[in-house]
Amino acid sequence: MSVTVVVPTYNEGPNVAELVRRLAATLPDGSDVLFVDDSRDDTPQIISDVAARAPLPVRLIHRPEAVGGLSGAVVEGLRAAEAAGTDWVVVMDGDLQHPPELVPALVERGRASDADVVVASRYTGAGDAGGLDGRRRKLVSKVSGLLARSMFPVRLRNVTDPMTGFFALRTGRVDLDALRPRGFKILLEVLARTRLAVVEEPFVFGERYAGESKASFANGVRYVQQLWGLRFGRLSPFAVIGALGAVLNLLILWALQSAGVHYLPAVIASNGLTIVTNFLLQERFVFRDLRDGGSMGRRFVQSFAFNGTEAVIRTLLLWWIVEAAFPHPELVQAGLILVAFLVRFVFHAQVVYKPRRTAPALDEMPSLDTLRPVRPVRPEAEER
Ligand code: GDD
Ligand code: MN
């Protein structure tokens, strides 16, 4: 079985020799390393020098233009590996934050489990994100991962770390032409666009060996664009229903008030009614494929309790912010509604309609879940 390790590099000269040394010491015979380089310094020269002395084949693609950045480079590497007929590709960073010694285990795991992708995860089992510098990066990584998983709850149901840059891929399973690489999150692009059997392997994200991170604010912006580009999964119908609900809410409020009802009971009634209509529309149009197994009553109670609590907290927050810090109720309300909308979406995707994890072969086939040998319980009770 042949393995190609694809390493995207951007000004990583001082890391190349050490990376190749450690890869050579751990990779099985028949493996090779492919650098896809967009450097603007002497990195390509260093790679060529290291390649000449290396005990295994080391190839270099230097791109005159960094089309698609890190993700574009990875796709270029996948293409080349596929053309060379390799069985497995392992993608890893060039700065030794991804331990080379884990590469054989990733491939072995994929082979043994018949998976298409083996994700090296910082957020499962003994995995750890320790090498991410700073609390802020750690938080951003967590939150962006949670958002991605909420948008693609089925595709990412077995993936705890969709933002990782370390994974093994069986060649030929992904239509490379269908990808729209941009920014740093190539794995997300692959997983969101393709039905794949995924397994995970924990790993400890280490410290950089030399140089510094190329992650930037622009990359964060690209990530958000990427999510939009992947059509925001369920978020857009969720948003449309939310907006319809807001209009309906005002209409009911207006109708009740014209009928002589006091504004307070009218607000409570219109809020309650629109929470119910929102719930019914979401059941039907947003989460239809995720309703399997559980009872509608349970989902309704969760949804109603969350939305009610959220409305109360939002009102208190509004009052507090306006009184204490920022005397512009409309702006504060607009900001709070936006945040509340995202939180509500994450809650519904992660709790109310959370898909069960599946065995790799059953991924994306929820109707087969019931075939799993489980304790003899009613299907409603099984999930929780
Ligand atoms: N060819 C190419 N072109 N390579 C690039 C480019 C580019 O435009 N930008 C970055 N790279 C390379 C770097 O040289 C390095 O080998 C790898 O991509 C990762 O870049 P880092 O600068 O080390 O990124 P990081 O450590 O901040 O982020 C890593 O961890 C994140 C997890 O939080 C990456 O693996 C991310 O993909 C990952 O999401
Ligand atoms: Mn890095």
How do residues 157-207 score in pLDDT, each as one tens digit?
889 999 999 999 999 999 998 888 888 999 999 998 888 999 999 999 999
Cβ contact 360:158 at 8 Å:
yes
Do 18 and 156 belong together in one domain?
Answer: yes
Domain that holds residue 276: 235-352
- pLDDT tens-digit readout, 219-257: 888 887 788 767 565 777 888 888 888 888 888 888 998
Do 162 and 277 belong together in one domain?
Answer: no
- pLDDT-derived band at 124 (thresholds 50, 70, 90) equals very high
Do 124 and 222 belong together in one domain?
Answer: yes
Do 196 and 242 belong together in one domain?
Answer: no
Do 154 and 119 belong together in one domain?
Answer: yes
Do 152 and 289 belong together in one domain?
Answer: no
pTM of the predicted protein model: 0.70
Do 340 and 197 belong together in one domain?
Answer: no
Do 207 and 285 belong together in one domain?
Answer: no
Q: Considering the domain boundaries, does residue 248 fall inside one? A: yes
Coil vs helix vs strand at 152: coil
Using CA positions, which residue lies closest to atom 34 of ligand 1? 165
Q: Considering the domain boundaries, does residue 360 fall inside one? A: no
- Given a cut of 80, whether residue 86 has pLDDT beyond it is yes
User: Does ligand 1 come within 6 angstroms of the Cβ of 81?
Assistant: no
Do 198 and 62 belong together in one domain?
Answer: yes
pLDDT at 370: 34
Q: Considering the domain boundaries, does residue 279 fall inside one? A: yes
Number of domains into which the chain is organized = 2
Q: Considering the domain boundaries, does residue 357 fall inside one? A: no
Q: What is the CATH number of the domain that holds 55?
A: 3.90.550.10
Cβ contact 9:87 at 8 Å:
no
Do 206 and 240 belong together in one domain?
Answer: no
Do 260 and 196 belong together in one domain?
Answer: no
Cβ contact 225:189 at 8 Å:
no
User: Does ligand 1 come within 6 angstroms of the Cβ of 161?
Assistant: no
Higher-pLDDT residue of 101 and 367 is 101
- Which of 40-49, 130-139, 144-153, 247-256 has the least mean pLDDT? 130-139
- pLDDT-derived band at 378 (thresholds 50, 70, 90) equals very low
**Ligand 2 centroid vs 334 CA: distance in angstroms?**
37
Do 220 and 341 belong together in one domain?
Answer: no
E strand intervals along 47-149: 58-62, 88-91, 117-121
User: Does ligand 1 come within 6 angstroms of the Cβ of 241?
Assistant: no
Q: Phi first, then psi: what are they for 326, rounded to 5°?
A: -140, 95
The length of the chain in residues reads 384
Q: Considering the domain boundaries, does residue 359 fall inside one? A: no
- pLDDT tens-digit readout, 330-361: 788 778 878 888 888 889 888 888 877 665 54
- Given a cut of 90, whether residue 286 has pLDDT beyond it is no
Q: Considering the domain boundaries, does residue 95 fall inside one? A: yes
**Ligand 2 centroid vs 131 CA: distance in angstroms?**
9
Q: Considering the domain boundaries, does residue 333 fall inside one? A: yes
